Chain A
């Protein structure tokens, strides 16, 4: 039986309305054969986690351009852990200063994609690191 496609939740946590990047990445992932669910704007970490579980996704890919990443990204990882869903691969992207990246990775965000990253890089990373259910 063929493996089911990788399922990805593309999410916009926080109040930030810049969704060009999230939507471009969502389409690129879809064109790469993944199943993509996009949450839309203004999602709380709780909403993102419950969508991830309900949709049974393998990956949560979040985008923030407002500077609230240090607060919101780790919260999503923490809540996923609480729901015993820490097998889900969590990645993030947006306007994120280099200095913030080490602590975000420590908090369990597996990779941070900053401006200028080709979508192919994100796709390859997901394919290599996803844990298939």
Chain B
């Protein structure tokens, strides 16, 4: 980015500075460490200068917001047009309780909904299933049938809000329920805006709520791509997630690499299913983690955008620029929260919020201070939301686009992360793509190694976590935590019993049989699932039929 002559002068002055000023100081006051690294272990120099960005071509690699390669952002005006969507992930106990929390959040100025489902719902079991015992309503809301979904969105106009649903293996069923609720509200499906996570590969890698084996799972995903491209055009059909990969312990560069490798696999699958890349790629979205190392995280988001743009253009020959834009949701890093001195977590979340915003996120969930202990209380959730509002309205960072661009360090680190991530993607390609690399345990092993190193660094105090391995207090004050009513399980069971008495069981049976046939005969399953849902077939019944046809995934345990 600089003329050669100027650069030579800078290099010379740097040498001089190192030999004189630095040398003198270091000989009297040694630096804190022999080697400095980012939160993910990349080496960090004492200072960055124009020589660290000399190979970077501005127009080709940085460019302008809303323009290929989108390093600086996916829209031409970014937050000058409108702020990111403030979207707090919430849901617990029954649909009634969660509905109240959503209305509270919307009143507090939240601009989009994000539904957390309990584990039985995420794994396709009804609340009365044996394996659901003790889990109903715990990490999210329990949804057994359309009846619960009607209560969940009662009084919330679905043509006005956008809704993100963290649902993967049974994503088609929950999307079908959402479409059915909207229809009852008089909102047609082409008006619906929102996202389903629908990213099964990272479930095998890191998150664990899989049901079916990879092949039928990928087919359910492409069924959704196809159905939505025709009928629900504003819906983001997948949120390809690095969040959980990072939470499981990966580095920043691994997070980018494994997420984009999963993305490549979905694009491959959709193309193999006969879809045109530009028909579905604009509806792909991503989900990343915002960790503590502010500058590394900003660089990570920039590198991810640039890499995906290149992959879509060069590898998949996409023509529509919208297919090349990496739009993403961010959540602050749950794994960085400490159970000790939980109020300190407010500060961590604020730093992570800055990382997400300076990195150009499209939407953001900020974690609450008490989440290393339990689900958050209403008070804690409000502080988390206020953190976003303070960054938006008071910090000034949203007034210009990508304000850290041009920093020698940021540009250099963006490039380093891109290079590092590309190495992993190449390795995954050699192994035959993400599904094969998962089957072989390569991705899981890489993440586990990073997680173990991280823990060892904490225990040796090479990595300081304030309040946990340094600056501890002897006595922690008593905390006010949210408790989920243990009666929720029984209440859901009661609801299910009534439902099965009231609905037309003959029609349910017919719709389930039709779904079974469609699943066996490779027809698009989506219309059949919508039909079954409308007859009030339960989530467990629908997933039960699919389990019969597809079988269940058996995890390969790697230590």
Residue B373 is within 8 A (CB to CB) of chain A in the complex: yes
Query: A17 interface residue, CB < 8 Å from B?
Result: yes
Within 8 A of A (CB), among B91-132: 119-120, 122-123, 125, 130-132
Q: What are the residues of chain B within 8 A of A95 when measuring CB–CB?
A: 372-374
| Contact B555–A15 (Cβ < 8 Å) | no
| Contact (A20, B335) CB under 8 Å given A97-B481, A119-B455 | yes
A16-B208, A20-B247, A38-B559 given as contacts; is B135 within 8 A of A118 (CB)?
A: no
Q: Check if A115 sits within 8 Å of B339, measured CB to CB.
A: yes
At the interface, yes or no: B187 with Cβ under 8 Å from chain A?
Answer: no
Q: Is the CB of A72 within 8 A of B557?
A: no
* Interface residue? A68 (CB, 8 A): yes
Contact (Cβ within 8 A) A40 B557: yes
The verdict on A42 contacting B557 (CB below 8 Å), with A17-B209, A95-B373, A119-B459 known, is: no
Which residues of B in the span 366-409 have a Cβ within 8 Å of any Cβ on A?
Answer: 372-375
Which of the residues A24, A30, A67, A120 comes within 8 Å of B139, measured between beta carbons? A67
Give the Cβ gap from B33 to chain A, nearest Cβ, in Å. 22
**Chain A residues bordering chain B, tally (CB within 8 A):** 36
Residues of A within 8 A of B559 (CB): 23, 26-27, 30, 36, 38
Contact across chains for A16 and B119 when beta carbons are under 8 A apart: yes
**A15 contact from B119, B375, B448, Cβ within 8 A:** B119
* Shortest distance between the CB of A34 and any CB in chain B (Å): 13
Contact of B131 with A116 in the complex, beta carbons under 8 Å:
no
Query: B138, A24: Cβ atoms under 8 Å?
Result: no
In angstroms, Cα B119 to Cα A95, docked, is 15
State which of B120, B131, B374, B455 has its C-beta within 8 Å of the C-beta of A97: B374
The smallest C-beta distance from A5 to any residue of chain B, in angstroms, reads: 16
Is A18 engaged at the interface, CB distance under 8 Å to the other chain? Answer: yes
Contacts A66-B139, A116-B338, A116-B339 given; does A71 touch B459 at CB 8 Å: no
Do residues B455 and A28 form an inter-chain contact, with CB atoms below 8 A?
Answer: yes
B340 at the interface (CB under 8 A from A): yes
| A115/B338 contact (C-beta < 8 A), A27-B559, A67-B139 known | yes
Nearest residue, chain B, Cβ from A121: B459
- Interface residues in chain A, defined as those with a beta carbon under 8 Å from any beta carbon in chain B: 14-20, 23-24, 26-28, 30, 36, 38-42, 44, 66-68, 70-72, 95, 97-99, 114-116, 118-120
Q: Which residues of B pack against A, CB within 8 Å?
A: 119-120, 122-123, 125, 130-135, 138-139, 203, 206-209, 247-249, 335, 338-340, 372-375, 448, 451-452, 455, 458-459, 465, 468-469, 479, 481, 484, 486, 555, 557, 559
25 interchain pairs, CB-CB under 8 A: A14-B134, A15-B119, A15-B122, A16-B135, A17-B203, A20-B247, A20-B248, A23-B452, A27-B448, A28-B455, A38-B559, A40-B557, A41-B555, A66-B119, A66-B135, A66-B138, A66-B139, A67-B139, A67-B374, A71-B133, A97-B374, A115-B339, A115-B373, A116-B372, A116-B465
* Extra pairs beyond A68-B134, A116-B465, A120-B459 (16, CB < 8 Å): A15-B209, A17-B207, A17-B209, A20-B249, A23-B451, A28-B455, A30-B559, A38-B559, A39-B557, A41-B208, A42-B123, A66-B119, A67-B138, A70-B486, A99-B481, A115-B373
